[in-house]
Amino acid sequence: MTWWRREVIYQIYPWSFQDSNGDGIGDLAGITARLDHLRALGIGGIWLSPIYPSPMHDFGYDVSEHCAIDPRFGTLEDFDRLLQESHRRGIRVLMDLVLNHTSDQHPWFLEARVSRDSAKRDWYYWADPVGRGWRRRPPNNWQAVFGGSAWAWDAATEQYYLHSFLKEQPDLNWRNPEVQSAMEQVARFWLDREVDGFRLDAINWIGKDVQWPSNPSAAGRDRFRMRSYLRQLHQHDRDQPETHEALRALRKIIDQYPETVLVGEASADTPGGPAAFYGDGTDELHLVFNFRLLKARWGAESFRQVIDEWERAVPSPGWPTQVLSNHDQSRHATRHSRGVSERQRDRRARMAALLLLTLRGTPFLYYGEEIGMCDGRLRYRDLRDPYTKRYWPFSPGRDPARTPMQWDATPQAGFTTGRPWLPVSADPDRINVAAQCDDPDSLLTLYRRLIHLRRTSPALLDGEYEDLLPEHPTCLVYRRALPAAVPVDAWIIAANLSPRPQFVELKLITPTCRVHVSTDPLAPLDRPHDGAVLLQPEEALLFRVPPE
C-alpha cells in the first residue's frame, strides 16, 4: 500500500508552528526542531503551507518566486535540512503549489504589465474596459473570493487584469502552454530536490470562460449574503473543463517520480463535487479534499449524509481523504461547539478524532488539532489577514485558526521568545503539548493511539466502510472490515453525537467484540454488550471484532 494511503498527513502553517530566532514568525529551523513531536504522534507526512518568497498579502499564497524560500522562513539549506531530517524519521514532505495565480510582484507579472505587447502579457488575463471615463467598468460582474470585483484596473496599459482572490494575486492564464510548462518546471525543481508531492491550491479555479460572460446571481437566501462572492453562482469564473486537461498533464509529470502524490483543494460546491478531480481514479489527482465533512453541522444525520456521498463519489480505484480543519476555516474544536460547555466541547473533539481516524481514507490533521486547539479570540487590531479584516466581526475569518502552536503553558506557549505575529490563544492551560504529552487520558494520547491503530490495522486502513444503522437519528454506527475471506480483526465504531445517553441495538455487537477505545476517559471499557450497548452522551466506542 502506498505511503499516502497508509499514513496520516499533518498540515503545518509555517508562520505559526515554531519560531527559532525570536522574530515572532515560525520558520523552517523551528519545524525541524519539532519533528520529534510529529514522529511521536505517528504521522507519516507533512504538508507545508507556502514557504516561497512572498509579499505576504495572503501569507504566502501570493508567490513572488517559485524556486526559493522566503527569508522569513530560512534558506534553501534550511529546507534541505528539514527534508532530510523528516525523511530520516519516515516523514514525507508535501509542498503547497499555487497554480491559479502569482503575486503581483512576481517577475512574470511585472513583465506582463509593462506593455500590451510584453512577451508575458498573455501569461495573465487582461480585458478592455466597457465604457470610458467615469463610466468605465470591468467586462463582467465576477467577484473576488475575498470581496469586490475580480478585476483590477492597470492604469499604465489601460486594461483590467483578473484576480480571483486579492488584487495582489493576478490569475495565471492556464490556456497558455508557456504557463503550463513554466509551472511544470517549478514542480520538477522541488521533485528533483526530493519532495514527496504537492498540495494544489484552489485547483478548481484554473479554468475560466474567457468569453467573460457574467455569472448569474444566486437565488433565495444566498442573494442577501454579506460576501459579494457568495451572492453569485460561479458558472463561468471557475470549474471549466480544461482544468482536467491541465491536471492530467501534471499527473504525467508526477508519475515520473515514484511514490509522489498530488492532493487538490477544490471548493465543496464545485459542480459534480470535488471528486471530479480524481478523473477516472488514475489520471488526475491522487487525493482531493472533501470540504463537505468539514462544513457539515455536528450531528449523526449530517455527518452520515456527507460520508455516504463521499464514499459514493470517489471513483475506484481512487482513494478518499478526510479533513476537519485547515488554515482557512474555523477550527473544528470551536466550530462544532458553539454555545456548548467546555466539557462538551472536549467530548466532541475526542469523538471527532475517533471518526476522522477510523473513516476510510487518508486523514489530514491541522497543526494543534491533536491537542484540541480552538480558534484564538482576537481583537480587530490583532488581525493580519485582509479577508478576515474585511468581514470582521460578522464572519469568523481565518486568523483565529492561525494562532501559534501551543507547546507549553508559558506566556508565548513555547512558540517564540519574541512577540508572536498573531497572539497566542487564551486557551485553558491544558491545551498544550507539554501538559498532554504524558497524560494517558489526554486528547494527544488519544490521537497517538488512534493513529498507531490505523497504521497497523489492515481493516482500518483498507477495509470497506459500511453504515450499520443508516436510520439512527443521533448515532453513527459503522463497520470497517476486509472481505470475510480475509481473517483479520474488523472494527465497529459506535458514536453517540447527542447530549443524552443512547442505547444502540445491533446484533453484530456480540459479547466476543471487545471495547478497544472509548472517547470518554472515565467510562468503563468492560461494559456489558450483547446485541446492544449503552453509549454515554457524546461518547464514541471502537469495538474490535475478532475474525470468525
Interacting residues toward Ca ion by CB under 5 A: 19, 21, 23, 25, 27
Residue 489 near residue 482 (C-beta atoms within 8 A): no
| Eight-class DSSP state of 254 | H
Query: What DSSP line would sit under 258-305, residue for residue?
Result: TT-EEEE---TTSTT-GGGGGTTSSSS-SEE--HHHHHSPSSHHHHHH
| Eight-class DSSP state of 122 | G
Q: Which distant-in-sequence residues (6+ apart) come within 8 Å of 338 by Cβ?
A: none
- 29 vs 351, beta carbon nearer Ca ion: 29
In the complex, minimum distance from the CB of residue 315 to ligand GLC, in angstroms, rounded to a whole number: 24
- 232 vs 267, beta carbon nearer ligand GLC: 267
Q: Interface mask (CB under 6 A) for ligand GLC, residues 147-176, using x and -? A: ------------------x-----------
Size of the chain, expressed as the number of residues it contains = 548
**From the list 31, 98, 401, 460, which residue makes contact with ligand GLC (rule: CB under 6 A)?**
98
Peptide bond into 315 cis (omega under 30): no
Question: Does residue 62 carry a catalytic annotation?
Answer: no
Return the one option of Ca ion, ligand GLC, none that residue 98 interacts with (CB less than 5 to 8 A, by type).
ligand GLC
What distance, in Å, lies between the first and last C-alpha atoms of the chain?
A: 25
| Matching residue, cell 437566501 | 221
In the complex, minimum distance from the CB of residue 368 to Ca ion, in angstroms, rounded to a whole number: 18
Return the one option of ligand GLC, Ca ion, none that residue 168 interacts with (CB less than 5 to 8 A, by type).
none
Compute CA 157 distance to the chain's CA centroid, rounded to the nearest angstrom.
38
From CA 193, how far away is CA 89, in angstroms rounded? 17
Count the residues of the shown chain that bind ligand GLC, applying the rule CB under 6 A. Answer: 9
**From the list 172, 195, 202, 517, which residue makes contact with ligand GLC (rule: CB under 6 A)?**
202
State the pairing for strand pair 490-496/475-481. antiparallel
- 25 vs 459, beta carbon nearer Ca ion: 25
Residue nearest to ligand GLC (CB): 61
In the complex, minimum distance from the CB of residue 352 to ligand GLC, in angstroms, rounded to a whole number: 21
| Matching residue, cell 514557504 | 51
In the complex, minimum distance from the CB of residue 63 to ligand GLC, in angstroms, rounded to a whole number: 9
- 20 vs 270, beta carbon nearer ligand GLC: 270
7 in contact with ligand GLC (CB under 6 A): no
Short-list 41, 44, 2, CA closest to 353: 41
Residue nearest to Ca ion (CB): 27
Compute CA 420 distance to the chain's CA centroid, rounded to the nearest angstrom.
23
Residue 179 near residue 173 (C-beta atoms within 8 A): yes
- Among 104, 265, 375, 520, which one carries the catalytic annotation? 265
Return the one option of ligand GLC, Ca ion, none that residue 25 interacts with (CB less than 5 to 8 A, by type).
Ca ion
- Among 7, 196, 201, 539, which one carries the catalytic annotation? 201
In the complex, minimum distance from the CB of residue 27 to Ca ion, in angstroms, rounded to a whole number: 4
Task: Please report, as a single letter, which amino acid is at residue 11.
Answer: Q
Peptide bond into 317 cis (omega under 30): yes
Question: Does residue 265 carry a catalytic annotation?
Answer: yes
Q: Which distant-in-sequence residues (6+ apart) come within 8 Å of 371 by Cβ?
A: 406, 431, 432, 433, 436, 442, 443, 444
- 25 vs 443, beta carbon nearer Ca ion: 25
Tell which phi-psi region holds residue 297, choosing left (phi > 0), alpha (psi between -120 and 50) or beta: beta
In the complex, minimum distance from the CB of residue 165 to ligand GLC, in angstroms, rounded to a whole number: 4
Short-list 150, 165, 158, 44, CA closest to 103: 165
Return the one option of ligand GLC, Ca ion, none that residue 27 interacts with (CB less than 5 to 8 A, by type).
Ca ion
From CA 342, how far away is CA 324, in angstroms rounded? 19
**From the list 80, 154, 328, 462, which residue makes contact with ligand GLC (rule: CB under 6 A)?**
328
- 49 vs 412, beta carbon nearer ligand GLC: 49
Return the one option of ligand GLC, Ca ion, none that residue 21 interacts with (CB less than 5 to 8 A, by type).
Ca ion
**Which cell is 473 given?**
437519528
| Matching residue, cell 473544528 | 332
Q: Interface mask (CB under 6 A) for ligand GLC, residues 431-470, using x and -? A: ----------------------------------------
61 in contact with ligand GLC (CB under 6 A): yes
Per CB under 6 A, contacts with ligand GLC among 229-268 are 265
- 198 vs 303, beta carbon nearer ligand GLC: 198
Return the one option of Ca ion, ligand GLC, none that residue 203 interacts with (CB less than 5 to 8 A, by type).
none
Contacts 24+ apart (CB under 8 A), 219-223: none
- 27 vs 265, beta carbon nearer ligand GLC: 265
In the complex, minimum distance from the CB of residue 23 to Ca ion, in angstroms, rounded to a whole number: 4
Return the one option of Ca ion, ligand GLC, none that residue 165 interacts with (CB less than 5 to 8 A, by type).
ligand GLC
Residue 169 near residue 103 (C-beta atoms within 8 A): yes
In the complex, minimum distance from the CB of residue 170 to ligand GLC, in angstroms, rounded to a whole number: 12
In the complex, minimum distance from the CB of residue 392 to ligand GLC, in angstroms, rounded to a whole number: 16
Task: Please report, as a single letter, which amino acid is at residue 233.
Answer: L
Contact residues: ligand GLC, CB under 6 A: 58, 61, 98, 165, 201-202, 265, 327-328
Residues assigned a catalytic role? 201, 265
